[in-house]
Amino acid sequence: MIRVEHLSKQFGELTVLRDVNAEIKKGEVISIIGPSGTGKSTFLRCLNLLEMPSGGRIFIDGADILDKSADVPKLRQKMGMVFQSFNLFAHLTALENLTIGPVKLLGRSKEQAEKKAMELLKMVGVAEKAGSFPDELSGGQKQRVAIARCLAMEPEIILFDEPTSALDPTMVSEVLAVIRRLAKKGMTMAIVTHEMDFARDVSNRVFYMDEGIIYEEGPPQQIFESPQKEKTRVFINRVRSYSCHIDNPDYDLYAMNGEIETFCEKHALPKQTRNRALLLVEELLVVFGAWRGAQAVDIDLTLSYSEKQDSLELVVESAGDYLNPFEENTLSDQLGITIVKNLSENMEYRRVNNRNRVGLTVKK
């Protein structure tokens, strides 16, 4: 239904979209997720030419809407859009908001438009508000009217631009329920959303956008449970990290410990977890640092806290010859390794790019 090739968009010197390629098939529900400022809303607005792309091609049912000979108004009628700020006409009632488009653009009679409008208002649960003006509606009711207004134009695809971001938490569920109902009916939809559970439940595919591109895409199970790329994993698990590179055997351990404590305090980690993290860092630095003697030190340390999983992970990488600290008789400091094993779980050693890599989860 929609095919996008090498789409780009610049605002002056700022590049928001740089090489977006995507395909949305009839009946698919696509959730678009990613950090703020990565071009998600701009991507949607380019699809129906609310923003004119700087480059690339957009095909709707095989027709390039950027071609000079394209009938853009007709092609755009195939796509409805629901905005985060509702965009209802304040001087019109809910019913009038639904009928004005079909009467003026689709040539429907007033009676036909009103009959269809009441059916749609009933479907989204606000039929009793047909005679109310937007400022007499709650945020959730306004958004449901906006969805009904979009449906009144009989689109083949609906674009949702963060439809719940302007709502109080108590109103989010009522809007998402309407979108779920549309999904069950087979409506083709592309939804920019920060509601991760909703995206997981309702989508056929998920686009993760970052760096001005669709950085990773796949079925919800892959994106949310086993993302293939690191930035996707960090976003999904809401991971925050502290990193440190040690290239001097006389590094300031106390200063580094202070930074680690500050990182742990920032994320409200229990004191016991903080103390265990500090001890694990110290023991692993001994394992990968002290054994070299006079040689130069080359160690990367990363401490990552996952808000979603409420877990603290420690990764230590070291240059040098093969050294798996979990193999018996590899090291003389068996007491240190025993401490590491007692204070952590999910321990793993890997040899990556001629570096020793130890990863573990700090016990709570």
Tens of pLDDT along the chain (364 residues) come to 899 999 999 999 999 999 999 999 999 999 999 988 889 999 999 998 889 999 999 998 888 888 888 888 877 788 899 988 888 999 999 999 999 999 998 899 999 999 999 999 999 999 999 999 999 999 899 999 999 999 999 999 999 998 888 788 778 888 888 898 899 889 999 999 988 888 988 899 999 999 899 999 999 999 998 899 989 988 888 888 899 998 887 788 888 899 999 999 888 899 999 999 999 998 888 887 744 454 667 899 999 998 878 899 999 998 888 888 888 765 556 788 889 999 999 999 999 888 999 999 999 8
Residue 311's closest CA among 341, 279, 267?
267
Q: Mapping DSSP to helix (H, G, I), strand (E, B) and coil, where does residue 285 land?
A: helix
Which token pair is 108? 């429907």
Q: Residue 300: inside a domain, yes or no?
A: yes
Q: Return d(Cα 139, Cα 286) in angstroms, integer.
A: 58
Looking at residue 292, its pLDDT comes to: 45
Of 228, 252, 281, the residue that ends a domain is 228
Reported in sequence order, the residue ranges of the chain that DSSP labels E, i.e. its strands, are 2-11, 14-24, 29-33, 55-60, 63-64, 79-82, 157-161, 188-192, 205-210, 213-218, 239-246, 299-306, 311-319, 344-352, 355-362
Nearest CA among 44, 48, 45, 38 for reference residue 17: 38
Would you state the pLDDT for residue 331? 59
The last residue of a domain, from among 200, 228, 256: 228
Give whole-number Cα distances, 14 to 9, 39, 101, 192, 230, in Å: 9, 11, 35, 21, 25
User: CA triplet 202, 207, 210: central angle to 5 degrees?
Assistant: 140
Q: Are residues 130 and 188 in the same domain?
A: yes
Number of domains comprising the chain: 2
Residue 235 within a domain: no
Task: Give SS3 for 58.
Answer: strand
Retrieve residue 79's tokens: 């796509």
Q: Which residues constitute the domain of residue 249? A: 241-362
Distance in angstroms (rounded) separating the CA atoms of residues 40 and 126: 30
**Model confidence, pTM:** 0.74
Classify residue 159: in a domain, yes or no.
yes
Read off the amino acid at residue 95.
L
Q: What pLDDT, on a 0 to 100 scale, did the predictor assign at position 332?
A: 56
In the block, tokens 């050693």 appear at 349
Residues 91 and 33 in one domain: yes
Residue 196 sits in a domain whose CATH number is 3.40.50.300
Domain of 273, CATH number, reads 3.30.565.10
Instruction: Say yes or no: 265 and 348 in one domain.
Output: yes
In terms of domains, do 102 and 21 share one?
Answer: yes
Reference 44, options 164, 33, 142, 232; nearest CA is 33
Domain identity same for 61 and 164: yes
72, 114, 143, 179, 284 from 77: Cα distances, Å: 9, 20, 20, 20, 62
